[in-house]
Amino acid sequence: MSEFKHIETQAIRTQNGKASYREHSAPIYMTSSFTFEDAEQARALFADEIDGNIYTRFSNPNNSEFIEKLCLLEETADGVPTASGMAAMFSSMAALLESGDHVLSSRSIFGSTHQIFTQIFPKWGIEHTYADINNPSDWEAKIKPNTKMIFAETPSNPGLDLIDLEWLGQLAEKHGLILNIDNCFATPILQQPSKFGAHLITHSATKFIDGQGRTIGGAILGRQDLIDKVRFFIRHTGPSLSPFNGWLLSKSLETLPLRMSKHCENAKKIAEYLEGHEELESVKYPFLKSHPQYELAKKQMKYGGGLITFIVKGGLERGKRFLNSLNMLSFTANLGDSRTIATHPTSTTHSKLSEEDRQAVGISPGLIRISVGLENVNDILEDIVNALNASK
């Protein structure tokens, strides 16, 4: 619980106590370890009888401040910061799953999460089954006696398909499974999976949380008993966040509510403008009425998100020409930045997949993903429209 009522205030005013220098902005605690007052305090700290910092792999004031804010935003009991989003995905599962366990996962997940399921977990006897995000009736029959966790992302990347979190929460509840949601795309500003029964919420803080493309980071938030196990795992295996990055990410959270509303406002305007453009086959954005899950998006998301996709006429080659014709938009493999970023999944991030596998996760050859930034919306639109015309 916070002494402040509203998330904007919580994100700004939640801060560690002042040091003796009376600083206003939080200092960075770049220290590997913390000193003990005496032998008794050291003993009590190691025995978990009192709270306090011992060693930065376990905890650090900057990281604690970052997590305290994120827990307020996600309305979770506790959380642990991690060195990257993938450290969060991996640790949230490796800490809780055992050899012989099974995970039911959406097929539309981040590429490295897919590598964990297919290349790494099989070595330790942890199996998975994929279910189709667009076919909820596909899910329940895939739950097995050894299923322990359900994992999903919504909206998905780059398909921008949604899964009904309320329905998924009920499914997990009915079968006594841990529901783990990667909330990186929506952020807690747009949706709070804990309200729908998610037990774990995982984040890549690299994206909208940092929001300026400066660092890699992540977080795992959720139910106390689960986070206790995750904390033990991270403390002893070491995918911990650097205090500098914890400081940066805690500062970033101060502007997350404001940034998200602007990302989404720009994205919606661009999606609305581009819909029906003669050089495009289609435009997809959760808050466009033409999105197949528009009603669901309105139900579970506050805004439509910072990402839009469209399919250019002319397929693969046109997609490449479009990217080469952009002037202002960045061509880089990231998203959730103050700068607008364009990517072409078929020739880059998803080029190793077969055409069939790409279709299964909603990627056609001419698909372009735009992570809409905070520039003036007219400048973003002008660059996109010019590139569409120049790449004919």
18 DSSP 8-state letter: P
* 84 touching ligand PLP, by CB under 6 A: yes
**Smallest distance from the beta carbon of 23 to ligand PLP, in angstroms?**
29
Strands 200-204 and 218-222, bridge-based pairing: antiparallel
Listed ranges 12-20, 177-185, 267-275, 374-382: which one lies at the site for ligand PLP (CB under 6 A): 177-185
The answer to whether the CB of 281 falls within 8 A of the CB of 311 is yes
12 or 247, CB closer to ligand PLP?
247
Q: Which of 114, 207, 263, 344 binds ligand PLP (CB under 6 A)?
A: 207
Q: Which of 68, 74, 101, 153 binds ligand PLP (CB under 6 A)?
A: 153
Q: Which of 92, 105, 157, 340 binds ligand PLP (CB under 6 A)?
A: 157
* 150 touching ligand PLP, by CB under 6 A: no
* 94 touching ligand PLP, by CB under 6 A: no
The answer to whether the CB of 182 falls within 8 A of the CB of 152 is yes
Q: In degrees to the nearest 10, what's the CA dihedral of 227, 221, 337, 120?
A: 40
* 216 touching ligand PLP, by CB under 6 A: yes
User: Locate tokens 């960075």: which residue?
Assistant: 28
Nearest residue relative to ligand PLP (C-beta): 85
Partners of 182 in beta bridges: 153, 202
* 159 touching ligand PLP, by CB under 6 A: no
Q: How many residues bind ligand PLP (CB under 6 A)?
A: 15
**Smallest distance from the beta carbon of 207 to ligand PLP, in angstroms?**
5
Residue 171 dihedral angles phi and psi, to the nearest 5° = -65, -45
209 or 271, CB closer to ligand PLP?
209
H or E element in which residue 223 lies: none
**Shortest CA distance to 373 belongs to which of 342, 349, 337?**
337
Q: Which of 85, 169, 239, 286 binds ligand PLP (CB under 6 A)?
A: 85
* Binders in 2-21 for ligand PLP, by CB under 6 A: none
Q: What is the DSSP secondary-structure string of 107-122?
A: SS--HHHHHIIIIIGG
Q: Residue ranges of the alpha helices (H) in 75-106? A: 85-94
Binding residues for ligand PLP, rule: CB under 6 A, are: 84-86, 89, 110, 153, 157, 182, 184-185, 204, 206-207, 216, 218
